[in-house]
Chains A and B, each alone.
Chain A
Amino acid sequence: MKPPPFLYARPESLDGVLRLLAENGGDARVLAGGQSLVPLLNFRLARPEILVDIAMVDELSHLTIEDGGLRIGASVTQRAVETSAEVARLCPLLSKALPLVGHLQNRARGTVVGSIAHADPSAELPAVALVLGATMTVRSASGDRSIPAEDFFLGPFTTALEPDEILVEVRFPGKPSARTAVKEIAPRSGDFAIAGVAGRLTTAADGAVQDVALALFGVGAVPQRLPEVERLAAGENVTPELLDEVARITRATARSGSEDVHADPAYRARVAGELVRRVVEEMAA
């Protein structure tokens, strides 16, 4: 349970990181907090030839507010985001989701951007990015591109990132007025979720649902929005009947494929339905 041999570099500029990625392509991996990558190394599930540590790159350490939204650089730790009062004001869903990510000891090192780039199907932050409509800023030696969260997650541990690209930051639009909630079922607090849901919702003056976004994690190969449920709830008052219907449609439409020792796909879909009911109920309350 020790990492296999690799070469290590710690450039002090983003250009340096990009050059190493350009020169080494698929043989190089970016190392941020290491909370996902180092376990993979210890298990020898990953055998990169070169690790490019971004800890010394100033250009990736920003947690800033711009146009009422957040820009989170690739080396910002989960703990720094979790404890930021500005984040709690602008993106309360992010603040609520972070305590569910691993344990305190992981969040002290793990990064928000790294978790999103890692794209574990059971991770909370990719679903939060989806619900909030986050934008990924991706860079390589040959230029920049922006990828909306809905186009970023392609499969388990697979994203739209090319081997020579790095996710330099994630931009979260600020949604201070939306109500938000996140819930998950995990064997133990801090463990990977069997199923979870993140949501945001706004209500009209009469209390009816105006706009709602919901995303499941842990249920299928990628975090998934629930368009049928969202359409069903829009414009409605949240009544017990609506919540029953929300749970039913979630069970029926969730793409539930994940299977492990804890749960099969049918169980995950059932849990997802119940969690979506509770999240919508909490947000509407």
Chain B
Amino acid sequence: MKPVPDPAGSVAVSMEVNGRTVERTVNSRRLLADLLRDELRLTGTHLGCEHGVCGACTVLVDGQPVRSCLMLAVQADGCEVTTVEGITPKDGLSPMQQAFKDHHGLQCGFCTPGFLMTLAGVEPEDHPDEESVRELLAGNLCRCTGYEGIVDAVMAAWDRSR
């Protein structure tokens, strides 16, 4: 029988973050968001509500958008994590980032990394029309834009007319 580990207050983890291997011993209660922000200094991932409502903390884990405030760092052990820094080209902006800029998809920008990461983790074909785009974005809150600019940006980046 496989040995049963003793419950521990800190755990050694290894994960890929934006293509780099990260090995750390983390406190078991450390949230993935805090590991990214405080220890790896990847502060593009924002924390709004810290209880899974606002979506500002969205990152990709093994390619799927998840809330990094609802995931313990230890749960990401062995996973591939991508943050907004990982989808931003060295120079300039990605097409989606450029579309947000062009269509007033952001004002203060606090929510923007979360929107971008949600969008980075889905297939455009699965969200063929405006209604399904709005449905997709329902898990991310924006206090500034009123969402119209964000929807415009996505429709433009995905070559849809609106």
Binding site for B on A (CB under 8 A): 1-13, 15-16, 19-20, 24, 31, 34-35, 38-39, 41-43, 50-53, 55, 79, 102-106, 108-109, 188-190
Contact = CB atoms under 8 A, between A and B. Distances in A.
A165 to B, nearest CB: 17
Contact of A104 (B5, B52, B139): B139
Contacts of B66: 105, 108-109
B75 interface: yes
Interface in B1-23: 1-9, 11
Given A34-B71, A35-B52, A106-B52, A3 B1 contact: no
A39 B52 contact: yes
A55 B61 CA distance: 14
A103 B7 contact: no
Contact of A10 (B69, B74, B118): B74
Interface stretch (B27-35, B100-108, B151-159): B27-35
Interface of B is mostly: loop
Contact of A38 (B27, B28, B49, B71): B71
Given A3-B29, A12-B2, A16-B2, A38 B138 contact: no
B72 interface: yes
B114 to A, nearest CB: 9
A19 B138 CA distance: 41
Contact of B52 (A2, A11, A38, A50): A38
A108 B58 CA distance: 12
A50 B4 CA distance: 14
A24 B7 CA distance: 11
Interface of B: 1-9, 11, 27-29, 31, 34, 49-52, 55, 58, 61, 64-67, 69-72, 74-75, 118, 122, 135-136, 138-139
B28 A6 contact: yes
A9 B9 contact: no
A240 B5 CA distance: 61
Nearest to A55: B75
A20 B75 CA distance: 18
Contacts of B65: 104-105, 108
Contacts of A53: 74-75
Given A9-B7, A42-B31, 6 more contacts: A2-B34, A8-B28, A9-B4, A9-B8, A43-B51, A104-B118
Contacts of B70: 34-35, 38-39, 42, 106, 109
B72 A15 contact: no
A38 B72 CA distance: 8
A126 B11 CA distance: 34
A15 B50 CA distance: 33
B11 A8 contact: yes
A148 to B, nearest CB: 31
Nearest to B4: A16
Contacts of A7: 7-9, 28
A53 B49 CA distance: 24
Contacts of A35: 52, 67, 70
Q: Which 5 A-B pairs have the closest CB atoms?
A: A103-B139, A7-B7, A8-B28, A1-B50, A16-B4
Nearest to B63: A108
Contacts of B28: 5-8, 51
B49 to A, nearest CB: 8
Nearest to B47: A1
